Structures are given as C-alpha cells and as structure tokens.
Structure 1
C-alpha cells in the first residue's frame, strides 16, 4: 500500500462535500475518482496533497515514497524555453554528468592512490548515472514533449508566451519526467488531442508507479484504471474494474438497493396493517400480539431510500423545420493562416440525419472548418453550400456567442424575446440554474456553467443543423451521457468537433478525419475508425510512407476492439442472468410476505393442515432463496 485515506470528511460552511471517505491505493495500482461536477473530486486530491485541510480523517503516504500532483489549471511562470523547463527536472542528471566530466579531467593528472580513489568514485557514479537513464535523458525529454503534442520547432518557445493549455502540458511533462511513486492527475486530457491522449494512456499503463486520476474521459478511464472511487452525494464507494465495470455495477447495486428499500417499505406497511387489525379485535391476546409486533417493528433498521441527485440537465433537441436531404456541401475548400496551409481543396457532403464527427490533431483546422461553415471567417478558395431550409445552431467551445456583461436571464431573454419570464426560468432550471442563479453574470460563470448556458440557447434554437465545437468540454460524465442521448434522439443533422472518443463512439454515424491537409472519410463510429484507419489512410495517401503513427498500436486497437465486442456479449449474458435471478428473488420474497400474512390470519389459527402446508412451503422457499442469493453473489463477482 502506497497511499491510505481513512475517514476523510470535508465541509464548506453548511455544505457537506465528503463524508467519511476511506480507500487505499496499492503500489503500481491505477485508480480514478469519479463523480458529478461539484462532488468534491478535486477537493479530495487537494486534501491528499495537503493543499486543503480535512475536517476529519488521516491521509497516510508510505514511508520514503514521493507524490506528484497536476492540478487542472496551471499558472507556470518561467523565462526558460519549453525544452529547458523540462530539462530542469533532470538537474540531478546534469549534476552527475558534470561530476563525471570533472573526475575524467582529474584522472588525467592523477596517479597512485589518488587515481584509484578517483576511478572507484567514477565507477560508482557512472553506475548511478546509467541506472537513472543518464545516457538517454535527452531522448526521454524529446519523447515526452512529442507525445504531449509539441513539435520540435515548439521546443524553443518560452514558457511565459504559452497559452494556459500549453502550460498545463508543460507541467504534465515535468511531472511525468520526475517519476514520483504516485502520480495524481486532475483532468489531464482537457488540453490534449487524440494522439496525445493515446500516448498518455500507454505511458500511464506502463508506468511503474501508482496513478490516481480525476477525469471525465470514459474511454481514457476504461483503458487505464482497475479501480474506481466514486463520490456520490458525499458518500465514498470503491469499485473494482474500469469505468464500464463501475457503471454496470453502479446500476445493478442501485436497483438492488431500491428493491431492498421498496420491499422493506412494503413489509413495514403490511406489519402496520396487521397490527391495526389485531388492535381492532380488541381482545387481550390480540392486543398483546399487536404490541409484540410493534416491538419487532421498532427494532427494524430502516433502509434509506437511494438518493436521486437533482443534478441532471434536461436537454430536448428538436428541429422546428425539416431540412432537405442535402444539408451541407463543401467543395474545394482551402484555408491558410500566415503562410501555413491548414487544408487544401477538401470536399465532403453531409446528408440529413447524419451525426458526423470531425477529428484530427490540434492545429489541423477542425474549428476553422466550423467557423467557415458558420460564416465567421472566409475561405481562401472553395465554396460552402447549405441545403434547402437548413437552419444552423452553433455551439462555440470558447462561448463567444455569450455576452459576458449580461446575466443568464438577459442572455436568454435577448436571444429569444418571445419567451415569457416563466419559460426563461424553466429553461434555465432544466440546465441546473435555479433561484438567484439566473441573475449571475456570464463573466462570473465557470467553464462548465457557460457550457450549460450555451446548450440551453442551442436547445431553444430549434435548429435542424447543429454545429458543435468540443461540446463535452467541462461537462461531467452524467451530463455527457445526457447530451449523448439527446443527440441520438435528435431528428436533425449534427456536425461536431470532439476529442472525447467515448462520446464519438456513442453518437457518430460517420467520422471525417482531417490529416495531411486533406480528409479521410469513415462510415462508422470511433471503434470502426480505429479498425479501418490504417487501411483507409494508406489508400488516401498512397505516396506517403508510414502515415499511421503506430501500426502496432492500430493492430492492437483492432484486436482490443474485437475482444471488447466479445466481452460486451458476455457481459450482456451475465446481465440477463442477473436480471432473471433478481426477478425470482423478488417473486419469492413476495410469496414469503404473503405466507407471513396468512400465518397472522386468526381464521386459520386452528387449521393444523394448512399451517403445516405453509410451514413446508416457507421452508422450501427459504432454501431456494439462499441458493439464489449465493448464485447472485457469484454472478456479481464474475461481473
């Protein structure tokens, strides 16, 4: 065990964020903390690092172990270049290298005991240098920088000139190179493109230390973690497995908990009815029996009803007018900035009802294409044609469509003047803005809150072509799933840019990849893209060698995809068997409740034959119930 958290609790004023949270992280283990926005995930990381004090509880880091932490936002200040900033992590290597050169120079002029001493010192230091990868530290730094999406020409850029996202990537690179015994990352994929996320996945999978991640990237979590720590309404629960395993178990456990609650409530109601009936008889024996049942009822430990958090957006996307079949036609589109050609003579069409994901590395021009379609900027050449009756609804990842000097209420009111006050409030409430929240200024909102306002405006637009730029940024997992369901139910057409692979997999009917200043088309979701990428890219660019960044990883991804399908089929079978087992358990519990009720019926009190029948039936049902519970537990373990 490298890290232990015991009974951690934290409140801010009257708001209880974390209640008695306990979990352990083992050596080399990869784990994630999940929960809705505001659940306390980042707070828990800060408590572990000591940045935030806990109200109660103890955090224990194993002796002589090091901890590295990357917060969501980085304000890295440095006059050094990107390369030199990462090189600073290896200062101890540089010091050893300088000492080796010094000893080498000294040995040239030494002899006798002095030379032997220097040679021993040199041998020991050189061994330590090798053990710390001293002869390959430059290539290690280069590999990390390229893996995180920096090109070689970026290495010389000064840190102080970088954007917030670039600074976060530099900080992440420094943390990875420092190789702590446990790495803690808060939303590490927010500023990475798909290739960089894939690289980070492989890096963390092969990392020799432990990893604790807060992330909303479900695809990322599925690949890396083997333990999920959930914070839900302040309660902390540990699940084994990756995110998909957790989601399945969570649903099953909640259903079981709800059934347990409903069954107990039904039993309590039944007992109360029997007690009332016995008291109505108004006889000494019946009253005593009623009092006996009341005492038993008082001793029952009442099961709490599972809490359904009122923290879910209510998105309903529906076009007011049906467009023509040909929604968008792009012909010979070219765009350059400052002499840098983003794409050249690209062509594609989008038909009504399609959900198209536009993907590609950072800087390839994905957002630029969306802006060109919206008429925000003009192309160098080429044409963009919108079909008959096409009305665009645009979601901008930077939320430039929002006025920072307006309140939420004013933002909706000015955009949709036909809405009355109640309709505006109801719309904002559907996106979790209630009471005085509606009078907050846009400039004071977090990124996630601005995203919800933009989605509210999008819903009201009733557009039949939705153009979305990174719509899942800053959304928690629950909100992402709600947006996925809304898009999948939407009868219009969708074109979006996203690096959220799970989201793409769940929503896209087609993928357009922007690469090598051109596009490659994939008729399928992200799994299909992974399967066909190597083949279709080679066909699209036959004269370009090794277009695929890593043939091995593509083959591995294909194998992983096939295995995933097989696992999904097995999972469905297990889920069906669990469902049947739970249904039979419920039937038996209902029948046993009915037997208890009949036992209590005074009319059969002297009917020995009937009482014997009920006793035998009850005995058999109890045996079957025990067997079913064991079988259910076995199934849950297999899940």
Structure 2
C-alpha cells in the first residue's frame, strides 16, 4: 500500500534554489533515513509534506485515510497541563467513549422498564466492544510505558509542561507522537534530546512499528538500527539507496569514486575546449573571421554539454585540528567521592581518574548530573562534598552544547577577533574558511546562524585555544555527518586528553578508549569503546544468571546490602510515608464501597454486586502489597 508519493517536487527562495525534480514513493512499513548536509533541504521537504509551507512545482499525493505525524527539530510546546494529562489528550475520543460507557452503567442500574433496559444494554455492549477494540483497557498503562521509555519517572508525570526544559518538552512531544501511532511518522533529529536508554526505546518502537517512518538524523548508529532505505539530499536533488546507513556508505564510496573520475575528466575536457575557443577568438589576419565562427560553434556545443555534478567530497568539509601548546602531566583529572545536590541529591560518591592522552566518554541517563559534573570541574558550580584535582600544566578547553560562550550580537569575524585579538584579519578569514565560512559569510551575525553553524564556530574557538584537556558536552548534536567525521578524525589525532558527554554511539565507538557509566550514586569504568561497553553489560547480565542459587535468607541479606549501599535513610522514610498515605486512601475507598453494599436494594442489581465486590477484592490485594512493601522498608530502616 502506498502511503505517500512525490513527483517532480521543486522549492526555491529568492536567494537560494533548495531542490528540484525530487520524486519518491513511500510504502506501508517503509523505514527511511533522510540524510544530507545542513541546508540541503531536509526539514523543508518535511514542511512541504505536512503542508506547513508551499511547494513551487510538483505533485504530492497522500491518501485521505492516511494519518501523518510530525516531530519538529525546533519545538514551541506550551501548556499548563501536566505531562500525563497532556498525553491523555491523545486518547480524548477514547476517554469520551469511556465516559459514555460509565453513563450507560448508571442508567442501567436505575432503569426499571425492561424494554428500555434492553435498549441500554444493547448500546452498552456495542460501546464496550468498540472500547475494547481500541485497547481502551490498556491506554493508561501505554502512556506510562512510553513516558518511562522516554526517560520520565512516575514522579515526573505530574510536572507542569510550562516548567520543563526544552529537551524535556521534546521528549513529551515525541511520547505523544508514539502514542498516536499515525500511518506515516516524520521525525526531525529525534535523538538530540534523548539519553542512550531512551534512544534504545525509540529504536525498538521504530523497528516494531507497522506504519511508515521517515527520519532526519545524523545519528549513524540509530540509522543502522532502524532504517532499510536511505534518501540522500545533495546538490539540489535526491538519491535513493537500499539498505541501512553502513550499506549506504559502502555504495556511496563506490558512486563517489566513479563520479569523481567523470567530473575530473569532464573538467579537463571543458578546460581544453575553452583554451581552443580562446585561441580561435584570437586568430589574426585572414583567419580571424573563420576563427570567430568556429569559436562560437564550439562554445554552443560546450554550453549544451550535460555537466557532471561536482561530488560532495570535492566540495570539502570542515578542516579542524586540535594542537596543545604544552604537554600536561600524566595525571590530568582526579575526582574522589564527589557529591552535588540542589533541592534533592543529583549525585554522590562519584570517583574516577583521567590520564594524559585518554579519550573518555561519560554516558548515563538524562538528569543523572553529567553536565553538572562538567560545570563543577570548570568551577562554574560548587560541589557539596568530595575532591576534584586537575593535574600539573593542564589547560582546559570546553565545548558547551548550548554554545552559551558565543556572543550572539557579534558577527562570525567579530567573535574570533574578540576571543583572539592577536590574530590578523587574514588569519581570521583563513580560520573561518577552515570551518566553511567564506567571503561575506564571515560578516553574518551569530544570532542568524543555525545550530550546526554555531557548533562549527564553537569548535573553531576550541581549536584556537591550544588547550591540552578538552571537555565536550554533546558536540555532535547539530553537526551533519561529514562534520562529525571531521571532528572524530581531529580528536583521534589530538595529542591531548578528551572527556566527552555524548549519546552518539557511532561517535563513541570511534573515539572513546574508556567509557564511564554514570549513575546517581556511583560511576563504573569500562576500558573500551561503546560496543565493548554493551558487550560487557551482556556478560555481566549472564554472570548474574549463572551465580549459584542462594537460600532465601542469603538472597535477602545480599539484596539488603545492595539497597543500603545505594539508598539513603531519607529516601526510605519518604517511601514509607507515601505507602502509609496510599494505604489510608485505599481504606477510605474500601469503606465507601462497603457502605454501598449495606444500602437497601443493593442486591437487586446482580452486575453491580459483582463489580463492587471485585473492586473491594482488588483494593484489599493492593493494600496487602503496600503493607508488605512498608514492612520491608521499615526493616531496612531498623537494620541501618
């Protein structure tokens, strides 16, 4: 089944031709990666498909019965609803149906006329069947599962959306889109605000989703895991490759090799023809008239020649090289039993060491405190406890994912001039050319730059700092794939030390020699890249399964040791208090239902009797679970 088809699509602006003659078909179940350098028109294509901007020419056909969902890269989500209530909006029709069913139940319990009761029961049966067909009994658990998959805790569910960060809002929007399950999903850089756990959740969703997905992404690992087709946008056109990202790259290299040869051969021929035309034009004497005529004929043939597009790899990419001015000592950074808290604990007991020439990646769930750790290292935030020590002759350079160090009122040229006043105008322009800003582009204000362009100027400032210890917070978020590869090569060649926060697993695989897996109360070291880390996790999981079977007493003692190691007394007390409140609430509900069962005429309605006592039983079982948990926590507290 075709869910969308595009034919001869064109779009341009007064100062730029975006793309032309784009054609493709999307079938049900297609998982497509849309890639291309920044500015190639990927988001523009999405906006045309959704009708947010108009096309200049071409045809788009999306059948009326095909639903379309779109997650933008830049979001403006504003709502005074809680996260959970906002997600409930996805199921508003289902909730309305549920309310109708409850109304019918009330009508049935009070209707004495057998004929009318029969009519109500028929309607009730129809609506109940429809409710079940739409998975009405599972939508609440589905919301819970998706929100947890997106990295929210159950305590977060009640948070007001207007108080969330940009990244959290993006995760809420993505959660709603996954809950909607439209026939065709368009995702624009969906992994930018996700931690690795949430990315894995999204990967599994996309792989198992029965509908179609087109994803704009520079996350090569994600593309390998999810797509079976690549749409490449370059030079104003679109090329289609079958397979995942790795397959695409292999075929792409072959194509570029052929295209390079054709392009260079044609350029030589064009140059030869132009030289002949110039000679013919400059013939003198009796040959002049004939020479001019022949030059015009040759020029016409040259003008009609179908030109081979200049391959992207000949257009160049950013050219950066990090070179430390001085060599640091062997011990670069020592962190011992570090603790930080705001209204609640962020992390504690964080310890690790970094040595000269290490390339270390810190990974962990969102909110675990990775960026806060960086700010403490940089003296931008104070620690609550523990020790941090930088080694001798260590000069730190920092890449901030939000690029807050950039003065948005400056032009590109002014930004470099301000940071490095000793550079000449020629040197500044030369450096800006290395990150692909040429001629008048250097006078462009920073507040007009895209995220990728701002990332490039931040990388240049870092390159010019001559530091020997680089800290990078999500450096690949806004970079296109060519720029990512240039950064990877620069970091591998770097003779200093690197500490990077990243959820880009392809990037981590290529540059990291050590992984630090950060949790709220410990950090664990893995001496390898990301694939090594994943393999070790699998081994650890298998080892846990192979451990000898212990007695129940031994198991309880072991579990108690682990819990006491990672749980504070304050947290245990809070959980106990919460369980007590929930138990009291259940008691009140049981009491109310019991009171109803004592009312006159209660046993006249058999259905109501069954439902009421089923509710009482469920509540009593729930209360027992709460009491068991309460007792378990109380014993832990006593032992402590």
**Which TM-score band applies after superposition, normalised by the shorter structure?**
0.7 to 0.9
How many residues matched? 529
Shift of 1:330: 1.6
Distance (Å, rounded) in 2 between the aligned partners of 1:489 and 1:419:
25
Contact 1:7 1:56 in 2 (8 A): yes
Distance (Å, rounded) in 1 between the aligned partners of 2:274 and 2:476:
50
Distance (Å, rounded) in 2 between the aligned partners of 1:399 and 1:537:
39
Q: TM-score, normalised by structure 1?
A: 0.77
Across the aligned residues of Structure 1 and Structure 2, the Cα RMSD in angstroms comes to 3.0
Distance (Å, rounded) in 1 between the aligned partners of 2:102 and 2:267:
79
Shift of 1:381: 2.1
Q: Structure 1 unaligned runs (5+)? A: 274-293, 548-639
Q: Structure 2 unaligned runs (5+)? A: 276-297, 545-557, 566-640
Shift of 1:536: 5.3
Q: Which residue of 2 aligns with 1:354?
A: 358
Shift of 1:350: 1.1
Shift of 1:449: 2.1
Higher mean Cα deviation, 397-406 or 241-250?
397-406
> What SS is found at the alignment partner of 2:380?
coil
Distance (Å, rounded) in 1 between the aligned partners of 2:371 and 2:124:
55
Q: Which residue of 1 aligns with 2:158?
A: 156
Contact 2:260 2:311 in 1 (8 A): no
Distance (Å, rounded) in 2 between the aligned partners of 1:515 and 1:534:
18
Distance (Å, rounded) in 2 between the aligned partners of 1:303 and 1:447:
33
> What SS is found at the alignment partner of 2:176?
helix
Q: Structure 2 residue aligned with 1:318, among 318, 323, 333?
A: 323
Distance (Å, rounded) in 1 between the aligned partners of 2:169 and 2:381:
28
Q: Which residue of 2 aligns with 1:102?
A: 103
Shift of 1:106: 2.5
Q: Which residue of 2 aligns with 1:238?
A: 240
> What SS is found at the alignment partner of 2:158?
coil
Contact 1:520 1:537 in 2 (8 A): no
Distance (Å, rounded) in 2 between the aligned partners of 1:7 and 1:445:
30
Deviations 1:313-340 (A, max 9, x none): 11111111122222222222222222x2
Q: Which residue of 2 aligns with 1:188?
A: 190
Distance (Å, rounded) in 2 between the aligned partners of 1:452 and 1:270:
38
Q: Which residue of 1 aligns with 2:409?
A: 405
Contact 1:394 1:467 in 2 (8 A): yes
Deviations 1:329-373 (A, max 9, x none): 2222222222x2222232211111110001111111111111122
Q: Structure 2 residue aligned with 1:345, among 349, 358, 366?
A: 349
Q: Which residue of 2 aligns with 1:332?
A: 337
Contact 1:360 1:366 in 2 (8 A): yes
Q: Structure 2 residue aligned with 1:257, among 245, 256, 259?
A: 259
> What SS is found at the alignment partner of 2:193?
coil
Q: Structure 1 residue aligned with 2:518, among 514, 526, 530?
A: 514
Shift of 1:299: 13
Contact 2:9 2:56 in 1 (8 A): yes
Structure 1 residues 440, 265: closer, same or farther in 2, change over 3 A?
closer
Q: TM-score, normalised by structure 2?
A: 0.77
User: Following superposition of structure 1 onto structure 2, how do residues 328-477 of structure 1 map, counting pairs within 5 Å?
Assistant: 328-338=333-343, 340-477=344-481
Shift of 1:93: 0.9
User: Following superposition of structure 1 onto structure 2, how do residues 271-286 of structure 1 map, counting pairs within 5 Å?
Assistant: none
Distance (Å, rounded) in 2 between the aligned partners of 1:49 and 1:159:
25
Q: Which residue of 1 aligns with 2:221?
A: 219
Deviations 1:278-335 (A, max 9, x none): xxxxxxxxxxxxxxxx9xx999975615333636211111111122222222222222
> What SS is found at the alignment partner of 1:411?
helix
Distance (Å, rounded) in 1 between the aligned partners of 2:342 and 2:435:
37
Structure 1 residues 458, 133: closer, same or farther in 2, change over 3 A?
same
Deviations 1:205-248 (A, max 9, x none): 11121111111111111111111111101111011111111111
> What SS is found at the alignment partner of 1:463?
coil
> What SS is found at the alignment partner of 1:185?
strand
Shift of 1:94: 0.8
Distance (Å, rounded) in 2 between the aligned partners of 1:425 and 1:431:
10
